[in-house]
């Protein structure tokens, strides 16, 4: 996920009239230019990471051209919602990491139902109303620089993190980073899910507040900070991005926390007025099929959480208990409630005062 | 009596078909009723269950409302929505509205129809939805008024549950129906099996076998078997009468006819006219006897036949006696001996066949005329539960040793002369038995002999 800082203005105006036109961050086309059919896919995933998946799909389907647009999650939501209201969809498939917004779009009647053998085979937590489908498997992880933190200090869970931050003279003071939940839809989603999981979250943000942890935007910036030693630990980073960086930089260690690890499944939906719902469905089927899943795995969008696959990743002791996918359900709407969001952010902001 | 081979049993539908149609009708009507009941029940049950979830969620939201600086703060508990997500595929819409109807948070739902009801229906995102409104009153210094929490949910899970309840009920009903039909089929099969046993029993008989049907049958069919057996017995009796008639006729008629023929041949060859006349006289006498014998044979057969076929009716024996005497007088004008009628003042009633009784009576009169002596009287008596009609003459009558066999046919040893063919008393005996009575012979004094039919007296009240 790229930085969402540029759309903060729009975010602030969410719920009111959108005065800024939502726009893609980047666009690229794949497949033959004279193709008969064109599929417009909008996603929050970086083009570079999604490219191999798109190409693998195109290799299997003739005469298809895909326009891939990379969007910020809030802009993508606003654009899809606007399309839904206008009755004229400009995209055929929307894949977003902000699964709460995807569920809200489907709840508000902005998604078309799609049923196939692949979608009905999905577990209930990954399929809501046959309209929103969880495609990926991306744990929210703690990342640290193995070059700077020894095994003895390495945090294995949130409790470890709280303990590390407790001493007044802790080396970690001011060197722990996490998402700015106001700026990042995904950060908000993870933080809100954290608050549902355990009371640990309250103690954690309290510890963050006391130790002067840094709330910043964007996975890339956070992981860069860990790699170059600005930050010692990053909390709630998307495991898929962290592992991609760990492949390049052996100093980066990825920890799926022992107490619990949230797992995000990027959600796809076909907008209600999509021009090519059939082809979009075929793409969904591809992503859910064996070859599609292996392409997603190669792109680290499906993080293999089985033992020994990723050397840089430390798995929880009981993966079945600790790995908790965020289910696609109406409960996700609560986090999007205006009052709830305001209250939650104000609680969070107390620990991370704006500079 | 034999059935015309061309005649077929008139078939008015199959019992099985009728039973099947009846069962299907009952099951169909019952099925429709149960289906309707199940549908209604399922709909109501689903409605109630999911309404409770809706109220539970709304109450949770209403309970989490707080006031801060005179402003309502809505802190929706996630459990409220988890409750709603028990209907896993249904959309949710919600809104919290202030006292003046302004939206505090959530969706700007069009205001509900006015009314006291907690629930109302509407639509959301193009789907039917069920809404609940929960109002919370605040009476604080900083905020005085009410806040409405409205939560709506689409109705897919309700419909599914209602359909599931209906479907399961119908499956159960269908299973019961199939079971009932199978049991009914078995019951019909077993109910009809005695009829098949009777059919097999009758089909397996030889053409001469007229014994009663002896098959184990349930009570409901026993009357049929009784009727069948009575029918067989009647055929058997009638066949017996026929056979007797044929046997008697061949046996009794052959000899006198042969004798007549011999006499006639003798007369044809007799040159002497005087002797010819004598022979003719004998021929005449023999032919009269033959004629009476034929009458009696037919009469006997007729009476046995009537005993089976004619219904008895209440009648007065005095009229029977009068009739018999009148007919005797007419048929035998040459008889100069007077026949006296001894009748009581009151009617003597019994159930009987007038013709048979009169015939029996005439036979007794003829016997008395032919074999007895004057005075001859026909009497009727009614006493001690018996009605009697009989004839008395002044002769010695039949010797007592022969009374026992007197009722048999052609009891030659009964001392009956060649003139009397011996069928008269047999007829009287047969008539007595056909009327449920008996033939009695008595010798009230040395110079008197009487033969009578003793029948059950019909009491006066029964009339």
Tell me the per-residue pLDDT of B174-231, one tens digit each, with 9 for 90 and over: 898 888 888 888 888 888 888 888 888 888 888 788 888 888 888 888 888 889 888 8
Report which listed range, A110-114, B251-255, B422-426, is most confident.
A110-114
Which chain B residue shows the shortest CA-CA distance from A112?
B125
Q: Is pLDDT above 50 for B288? A: yes
Report which DSSP code applies to A20: S
Asked if the model's pLDDT at residue B382 lies above 90, the reply is no
Please tell me the predicted confidence (pLDDT) of residue A159: 93
Does residue B8 lie in a domain region?
no
Picking from B309, B343, B373, the residue at the C-terminal end of a domain is B309
**Packed helices A200-211 and A185-197: angle between N→C axes, nearest 10 degrees:** 130
Nearest residue on chain A to B125, alpha-carbon basis: A109
**Of the spans A153-162, B268-277, B356-365, B415-424, which averages the highest pLDDT?**
A153-162
Tell me which chain A residues have a C-beta less than 8 angstroms from the C-beta of B108: none
Lowest mean pLDDT among A173-177, A186-190, A334-338, B212-216: B212-216
Strands (E), B16-143: 65-68, 71-74, 92-97, 103-106, 119-124, 127-139
Q: DSSP code of A137?
A: B
**What's the domain range around B448?**
312-463
**Pairwise CA distance, residues A305 & A314, whole Å:** 9
* Chain A residues in contact with chain B using a Cβ-Cβ cutoff of 8 Å: 106-109, 124, 128-129, 196, 329-331, 333-334, 337-340, 343
Q: What's residue A138's pLDDT?
A: 94
> Does the CB of B370 have a partner CB in chain A at under 8 Å?
no
Chain A residues in contact with B76 (beta carbon < 8 A): 334, 337, 339-340
- Examine the pLDDT at B461 and tell me if it is beyond 70: no
First to last CA, chain B: 35
Residue A124 predicted with pLDDT over 60: yes
How many contiguous H segments (helices) and E segments (strands) does chain B have?
Answer: 8, 14
Q: How far is B40 from chain A (nearest CA, A)?
A: 27
Is A108 in Cβ contact with B125 (below 8 Å)? yes
Distance from CA of A199 to the nearest CA of B (A): 15
Q: Mean pLDDT throughout A313-317?
A: 88
Q: Closest Cα of chain A to B75: distance in Å? A: 5
For residue B250, the SS3 value is helix
Which residue in B62, B65, B69, B75 has the most chain A C-beta atoms within 10 A of its own C-beta, making it the best mutation to test that interface?
A: B75
In tens, the pLDDT along B16-70 reads 788 778 888 888 888 888 888 988 999 999 999 999 999 999 999 999 999 988 8
Is there a contact between B324 and B378 (Cβ–Cβ < 8 Å)? yes
In A, minimum Cα distance to B83 occurs at A331
CA distance B84 to chain A (A): 8
- What DSSP character marks residue B311? P
What is the token pair recorded at B417?
């002369």
Q: Is B102 on the interface with A (CB under 8 A)?
A: no
State residue A57's pLDDT score.
Answer: 95
Confirm if B37 and B173 have CB atoms less than 8 A apart. Answer: no
B321 and B455 assigned to the same domain: yes
Q: How far is A66 from chain B (nearest CA, A)?
A: 30
Q: Is B106 on the interface with A (CB under 8 A)?
A: yes
**Is the same domain home to B159 and B294?**
no
Which residues lie below 8 Å from residue B394, measured CB to CB, with a gap of 6+? B372, B373, B374, B375, B376, B447, B448
DSSP string, A249-273: -TTEEEE--SS-EEEE--EEEEETT
Confidence (pLDDT) at B421: 45
Provide the mean pLDDT of chain A.
89
Which range among A4-8, A147-151, B135-139, B195-199 shows the weakest confidence by mean pLDDT? A4-8
If one counts every other C-beta atom within 10 angstroms of the C-beta of residue B178, the result is 11
**Domain membership flag for residue B7:** no
Instruction: Judge contact between A2 and A218, C-beta under 8 A.
Output: yes
- Spatial neighbors of B3 by CB under 8 A, at least 6 apart, are none
Q: Which of these, A316, A339, A43, A21, lies nearest to B104 by C-alpha position?
A: A339
CA distance B115 to chain A (A): 27
Angle at the Cα of A141 from the Cα atoms of A123 and A340, rounded to 5 degrees: 75
- Identify the residue among B61, B89, B98 best suited for mutation to test binding to A, counting A beta carbons within 10 A and taking the highest: B89
Least confident of A288-297, A324-333, B265-274: B265-274
The alpha helices in B270-423, defined as continuous H runs, are: 273-309, 317-331, 354-371
B334 and B411 part of one domain: yes
The pLDDT tens digits for B411-434 are: 544 443 444 446 778 888 888 888
Give a yes or no: residue B377 inside a domain.
Answer: yes
A10 backbone φψ class: left, alpha, beta (φ>0; ψ -120 to 50): alpha
pLDDT average, residue stretch A78-100: 94
Q: Which residues fall within 8 angstroms of residue A348, CB to CB, at 6 or more apart? A: A181, A191, A205
On chain A, the residues whose CB falls within 8 A of the CB of B77 are 334
Looking at the structure, tell me whether residues B260 and B317 fall in a common domain. no
Nearest 5°: CA angle at A35, between A32 and A39? 95
In a domain, B10, yes or no: no
With left for phi above 0 and alpha for psi between -120 and 50, is residue B14 left, alpha or beta? beta
Identify whether residues B351 and B211 lie together within a single domain. no
Residue A200's pLDDT is what? 87
Q: Which residues contact A265 (CB under 8 A, 6 or more apart)?
A: A99, A125, A126, A134, A135, A136, A137, A138, A325, A326, A328
Beta bridge partners of residue B139, listed in sequence order: B144
Q: What is the pLDDT of residue A256?
A: 94
DSSP track, B99-123: TTS-EEEE--PPPPPSSS-SEEEEE
* Same structural domain, B179 and B209: no
Mark whether B399 and B432 lie in a shared domain.
Answer: yes
The answer to whether the Cβ–Cβ distance between B88 and A196 falls below 8 Å is no
- Considering only CB atoms, B82 lies closest to which of A106, A109, A331, namely A331
pLDDT at A281 over 80: yes
What is the three-class DSSP state of A193? helix
User: Are A64 and A35 spatial neighbours (Cβ–Cβ below 8 Å)?
Assistant: yes
Q: What are the CA-CA distances from residue A136 to residues A24, A25, A187, A302, A313 (Å)? A: 22, 22, 17, 5, 18
The verdict on B108 touching A (C-beta cutoff 8 Å) is: no
Taking CB atoms and an 8 Å limit, are A343 and B75 in contact across chains?
Answer: yes
User: Which site among A331, A335, A336, A341 would you substitute to test the B interface, given the most B Cβ atoms closer than 10 Å to its Cβ?
Assistant: A331
Per the structure block, which two tokens stand in for B391? 């004839």
Stated length of chain A? 355
Q: Point out the domain boundary residue: B148, B172, B201.
A: B201
pLDDT of res. B334: 53
Report ipTM for this prediction. 0.87
The C-alpha atoms of residue A27 and residue A309 are separated, in whole angstroms, by: 33
Whether A340 sits inside 8 A of B81 (CB atoms) is no
Whether residues B35 and B181 share a domain: the answer is yes
Rounded to whole angstroms, the Cα distance separating B228 from B195 reads 12
Residue B389 lies in a domain: yes
Torsion angle, CA of B228/B234/B239/B244, rounded to 10 degrees? 150
CB-based contact A329 B88, cutoff 8 Å: yes
Q: Angle B342-B347-B351 (CA atoms, 0-180°, nearest 5)? A: 110
The pLDDT assigned to B8 comes to 61
The owner of tokens 């896993």 is B88
Total domains in the fold of chain B:
3
C-alpha angle B208-B211-B212 in degrees, rounded to nearest 5: 140
Q: Calculate mean pLDDT across residues B269-296.
A: 85
B91 with A340: Cβ contact below 8 A: no
Chain A residue whose CA is closest to B106: A337
Torsion of CA A160, A165, A166, A169, to 10 degrees: 130
All residues of chain A having their beta carbon less than 8 Å from the beta carbon of residue B127 are 109
Domain-embedded: residue B3: no
Q: Which of A109, A196, A340 sits opposite B75 (nearest CB)?
A: A340
B284, B309, B334 - which closes a domain: B309
Asked if A330 and B81 come within 8 Å (Cβ–Cβ), the reply is yes
pLDDT surpasses 50 at B280: yes
Same domain (yes/no): B227, B331? no
Give the model's confidence band at B462: pLDDT under 50 very low, under 70 low, under 90 confident, else very high: very low
CA angle A49, A51, A54 (to 5 degrees): 130
Q: Are residues B166 and B211 in the same domain?
A: no
CB contact under 8 A, A339 and B90: no
Answer whether A340's CB lies under 8 Å from B75's CB: yes
Mean model confidence pLDDT for chain B:
83
Q: Which two tokens stand for residue B107?
A: 């969706």
- Which member of B85, B93, B124 has the closest CB to residue A331? B85
Quick one: B305 and B328 in the same domain?
no
Residues of B in contact with A333 (CB under 8 A): 81, 92
Tell me the per-residue pLDDT of A227-265, one tens digit each, with 9 for 90 and over: 998 999 999 999 988 998 888 888 899 999 999 999 999
Mark yes or no for CB contact B92/A340 under 8 Å. no
Taking CB atoms and an 8 Å cutoff, what residues of chain A touch B92? 107, 330, 333
Residues B47 and B155 in one domain: yes
**Nearest-CA distance from A115 to chain B in Å?**
14
Q: Which of B75, B78, B126 sits opposite A339 (nearest CB)?
A: B75
Question: Would you call B75 an interface residue with chain A, using a CB distance cutoff of 8 Å?
Answer: yes
Residues in chain B with CB shorter than 8 Å from the CB of A87 are: none
What pLDDT, on the 0 to 100 scale, is given for residue B338?
A: 75
Query: Could you tell me if B78 lies within 8 Å of chain A, comparing CB atoms?
Result: yes
**Position with higher pLDDT, A335 vs B245:** A335
E runs forming strands in chain A = 26-30, 37-43, 64-70, 93-96, 111-112, 127-128, 132-134, 138-145, 176-179, 214-216, 233-238, 252-255, 261-264, 267-271, 313-314, 323-325
Query: Which residues are within 8 A (CB) of B180 and not within 5 positions of it... i.e. 6 or more apart?
Result: B23, B27
Judged by CB atoms closer than 8 Å, whether chains meet at A331 and B73 is answered as no
Tell me the C-alpha distance between A179 and B347, whole Å: 131
Residues of A in contact with B80 (CB under 8 A): 334
Whether B9 is covered by a domain: the verdict is no
Token output for A96: 């977003």
Contacts with A194 from chain B: Cβ below 8 Å: none
Between chains, do B126 and A109 touch, taking CB under 8 Å as contact? yes
Say what the pLDDT of residue A283 is.
96
Residue B4 is assigned to a structural domain of this protein? no
Domains and CATH numbers, chain A: 5-137+265-298 (3.40.190.10), 139-263+307-351 (3.40.190.10)
Closest chain B C-alpha to A220 CA, distance in angstroms: 31
Q: What is each CA distance from B399 to B392, B396, B413, B440, in whole angstroms?
A: 15, 8, 10, 14
Cis peptide before A248 (omega within 30 of 0): no
Residue among A129, A329, A334 whose CB faces B76 most closely = A334
CB pairs A-B closer than 8 Å: 58
Report the SS3 class of residue B179: helix
- CATH number, residue B351: 3.30.565.10
């Amino acid at each position: 996920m790229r930085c969402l800082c540029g759309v903060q203005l729009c975010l602030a105006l969410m719920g009111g009239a959108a005065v800024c036109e939502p726009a893609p961050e980047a666009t690229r086309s794949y497949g033959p230019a004279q193709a008969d059919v064109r599929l417009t896919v909008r996603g929050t995933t970086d083009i570079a990471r999604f490219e191999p998946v798109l190409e693998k799909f195109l290799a299997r389907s003739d005469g298809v051209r895909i326009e891939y647009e990379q969007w910020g999650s809030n802009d993508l939501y606003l654009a899809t919602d606007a399309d839904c209201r206008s009755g004229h969809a400009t995209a055929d498939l929307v894949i977003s990491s902000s699964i709460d917004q995807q569920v809200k779009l489907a709840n508000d009647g902005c998604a078309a139902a799609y049923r196939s053998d692949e979608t009905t085979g999905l577990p209930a937590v990954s399929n809501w109303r046959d309209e929103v489908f969880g495609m990926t498997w991306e744990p929210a992880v703690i990342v640290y620089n193995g070059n700077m933190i020894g095994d003895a200090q390495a945090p294995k869970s949130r409790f470890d993190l709280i303990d590390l931050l407790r001493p007044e003279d802790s080396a970690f003071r001011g060197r722990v980073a996490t998402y700015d939940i106001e700026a990042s839809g995904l950060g908000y989603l993870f933080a809100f899910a954290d608050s549902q999981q355990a009371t640990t979250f309250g103690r954690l943000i309290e510890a963050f507040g006391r130790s002067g942890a840094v709330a910043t935007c964007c996975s890339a910036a956070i992981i860069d900070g860990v790699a170059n030693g600005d930050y010692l630990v990053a909390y709630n980073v998307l495991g898929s991005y962290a592992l991609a960086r760990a492949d390049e930089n052996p100093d980066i260690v990825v920890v799926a926390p022992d107490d619990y690890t949230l797992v995000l499944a990027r959600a796809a939906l076909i907008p209600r007025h999509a021009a090519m719902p059939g082809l979009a469905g075929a793409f969904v089927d591809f992503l859910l099929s064996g070859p599609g899943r292996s392409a997603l795995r190669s792109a680290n969008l499906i993080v293999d959480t089985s033992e020994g696959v990723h050397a840089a990743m430390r798995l929880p002791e009981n993966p079945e208990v600790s790995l908790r996918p965020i289910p696609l359900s109406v409960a996700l709407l609560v986090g999007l409630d205006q009052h709830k969001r305001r209250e939650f952010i104000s609680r969070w902001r107390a620990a991370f005062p704006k500079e | 009596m034999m059935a015309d081979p061309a005649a077929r049993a008139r078939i008015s539908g199959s019992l099985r078909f009728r039973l099947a149609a009846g069962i299907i009708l009952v099951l169909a009507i019952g099925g429709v009723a149960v289906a309707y009941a199940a549908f209604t029940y399922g709909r109501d049950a689903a409605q109630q269950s999911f309404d409770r979830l809706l109220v539970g969620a709304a109450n949770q939201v209403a309970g989490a409302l707080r006031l801060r600086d005179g402003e309502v703060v809505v802190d929706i508990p996630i459990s409220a929505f988890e409750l709603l997500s028990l209907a896993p595929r249904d959309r949710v819409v919600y809104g919290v509205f202030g006292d003046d109807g302004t939206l505090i948070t959530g969706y700007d739902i069009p205001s509900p129809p006015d009314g006291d009801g907690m629930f109302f229906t509407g639509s959301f995102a193009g789907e039917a939805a069920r809404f609940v409104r929960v109002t919370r009153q605040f009476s604080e210094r900083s905020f005085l008024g009410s806040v409405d929490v409205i939560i709506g949910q689409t109705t897919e899970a309700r419909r599914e549950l209602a359909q599931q309840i209906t479907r399961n009920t119908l499956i159960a009903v269908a299973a019961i129906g199939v079971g009932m039909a199978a049991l009914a089929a078995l019951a019909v099969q077993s109910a009809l099996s005695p009829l098949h046993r009777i059919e097999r029993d009758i089909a397996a008989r030889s053409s001469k076998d007229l014994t009663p049907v002896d098959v184990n049958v349930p009570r409901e069919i026993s009357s049929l078997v009784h009727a069948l057996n009575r029918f067989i017995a009647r055929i058997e009796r009638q066949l017996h009468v026929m056979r007797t008639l044929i046997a008697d006729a061949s046996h009794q008629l052959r000899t006198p006819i042969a004798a007549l023929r011999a006499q006639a041949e003798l007369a044809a060859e007799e040159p002497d006219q005087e002797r010819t006349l004598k022979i003719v006289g004998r021929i005449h006498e023999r032919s009269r006897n033959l004629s009476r014998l034929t009458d009696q044979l037919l009469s006997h057969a007729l009476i046995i036949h009537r005993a089976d076929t004619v219904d008895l009716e209440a009648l007065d024996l005095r009229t029977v006696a009068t009739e018999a005497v009148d007919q005797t007088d007419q048929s035998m004008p040459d008889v100069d001996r007077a026949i006296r009628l001894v009748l009581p003042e009151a009617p003597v009633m019994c159930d009987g066949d007038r013709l048979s009784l009169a015939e029996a009576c005439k036979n007794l009169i003829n016997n008395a005329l032919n074999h007895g002596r004057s005075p001859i009287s026909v009497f009727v008596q009614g006493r001690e539960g018996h009605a009697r009609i009989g004839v008395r003459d002044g002769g010695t009558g039949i010797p007592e040793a022969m009374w026992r066999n007197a009722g048999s046919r052609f009891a030659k040893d009964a001392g009956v002369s060649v003139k009397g063919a011996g069928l008269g008393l047999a007829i009287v005996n047969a008539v007595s038995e056909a009327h449920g009575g008996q033939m009695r012979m008595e010798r009230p004094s040395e110079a008197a002999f009487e033969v009578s039919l003793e029948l059950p007296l019909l009491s006066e009240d029964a009339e």
